[in-house]
Amino acid sequence: MAKSTSRKIKVDALSRVEGEGALDLHIQNGEIKDLKFRIFEPPRFFEALLEGRDFSEAPDITSRICGICPIAYQMSASQAMEDALGVQVTGPLRDLRRLIYAGEWIESHVLHAAMLHAPDFLGLDDAMQIAKANPELVKKALRLKKIGNDILDVVGGRAVHPVNLKVGGFFKAPMVERMSELIEPLKWAVDTARELALVFGGFDFPDFDYDYTCVSLRHPDEYAIHEGRIISNRGLDIAVSEFTDHFGEEHVAHSNALHGVSPGGPYLVGPIARYNNNFDQLSPLAQETAKESGLGKVVTNPFKSIVVRMIETLYACEEALRIVQAYQRPDASCVEIKSGKGTGYGCTEAPRGICYHSYSLNKKGLITSANIVPPTAQNQKQIEMDLRGVVEKSLNLDDESLKWRCEQTIRNYDPCISCATHFLNLRIKRD
């Protein structure tokens, strides 16, 4: 029941200096008077930094945008450059890219789901409390996450922030022996991801559903990770190069960040969007586990993203295992590339959703313009919509619980705050 009294609450999850994101919530007479969610994005700092640099530098520079998902940036940038310069990466090199991307999904998804999101559902303040309450679960999750890092190490040359990727492929193709060492751990990982999906599927989920406009890649032959056309569940089906014809970034007064908008309004990118659009392409085991975890073929409750992340983790482990088992070291570690003039587009499925890059190059192969749209910027408007809906249903909660519910709602998106901002403050006012 909505309260008729007026309340004013200030909640600072973190009181920080400049560059902070915030949720400001103002409730008056039991109704939302104002709700603003903002995440400050780098104000085109990196795009400016890229201008005048050689095309080959883009993967490394852009991977600095996000310390958490460097592969997404390296891969989207590489693809865009390859598109601009008219080359294609196929066969075993393409498989290696899919493998390392699967590694990033595994480590990113498991970290978020098990360590950052699960405490919300268990009534625990943070992962330390889970570690104390259930150290075996945490150790298992960390071991699973570590297998993602191991893939990054074997294929990318480093367990964090890989250095082996380049436009056209890799500096060096991994040795078969090292790849083989991943087989047994990955078999264990498939089982463990399934086990965690089932555990998380048993959580109590807050009652909230939304008819999302789901935007993701789709590939004709596989659950899209690093390649595909951009589609939506509303019938959109476009080439990556057409992205800016259909999606824009709306500059909103309360936020430095640019909210992603489509002509149809806010939209969702990330695990739920991918799952809803491409469920038919998940492996039989992933589909079966989804069902056993209580998921339908379409997920409309954003809190269930924690389960979807584990389904995608399971799938990523299966894919990684398949690629590792079939691996034969290619003769060349990359495709030959000649620098030159051109414009190219790249888009891949970062753990948090589509990450779009486009670049123009002059005849020397130097970057004359860059456009990068990270997933969290696109989800921002949708996060605000979710918060509005969730708060409306939760007005009877006391302030602390309401704040928690808001944080949990934001965490559904695993918002890559480091892409967009460093901190998040939550402020609730009731009067």
CB of 13 vs another protein, minimal distance in Å? 5
Q: Which residue number, 47 or 227, has a Cβ lying nearer to another protein? A: 47
CB of 66 vs another protein, minimal distance in Å? 9
Which tokens in the block code for residue 337? 């590339």
CB of 326 vs another protein, minimal distance in Å? 27
Cα separation, 216 vs 379, in Å, equals: 12
The angle subtended at Cα 69 by Cα 64 and Cα 70, nearest 5°, is 45
Q: Which residue number, 256 or 281, has a Cβ lying nearer to another protein? A: 256
Q: Which residue number, 108 or 216, has a Cβ lying nearer to another protein? A: 108
Which tokens in the block code for residue 219? 């590939």
Q: Which residue, among 354, 403, 359, 358, has the nearest Cα to 377 in the 3D structure?
A: 354
- The residue assigned the tokens 């998902």 is 69
> DSSP letters of 167-216?
TTEESSPPPHHHHHTTHHHHHHHHHHHHHHHHHHHTS---S------BEE
CB of 379 vs another protein, minimal distance in Å? 13
Q: Which residue number, 64 or 254, has a Cβ lying nearer to another protein? A: 64
Using DSSP's 3-state secondary structure scheme, residue 73 falls into helix
- The residue assigned the tokens 């969007």 is 273
Query: In the complex, which residues of this chain contact another protein (CB under 8 A)?
Result: 13-14, 16-19, 42-43, 45-46, 64, 67-68, 70, 111, 115-116, 126-128, 131-132, 135, 138-139, 142, 145-146, 149, 159-161, 407, 410-411, 414-418, 421-424
Q: Which residue number, 114 or 290, has a Cβ lying nearer to another protein? A: 114
Cα separation, 120 vs 110, in Å, equals: 15
CB of 140 vs another protein, minimal distance in Å? 11
CB of 120 vs another protein, minimal distance in Å? 11
Q: Which residue number, 240 or 383, has a Cβ lying nearer to another protein? A: 383
Give the side-chain half-sphere CA count within 13 A for 428: 25
CB of 370 vs another protein, minimal distance in Å? 15
86 burial level (CB within 10 Å; 0-12, 13-18, 19+): exposed
Which tokens in the block code for residue 158? 């480093």
Q: Which residue number, 75 or 282, has a Cβ lying nearer to another protein? A: 75
Q: Are 354 and 378 in contact (CB under 8 A)?
A: yes
φ/ψ (deg, to 5) at 34:
-155, 140
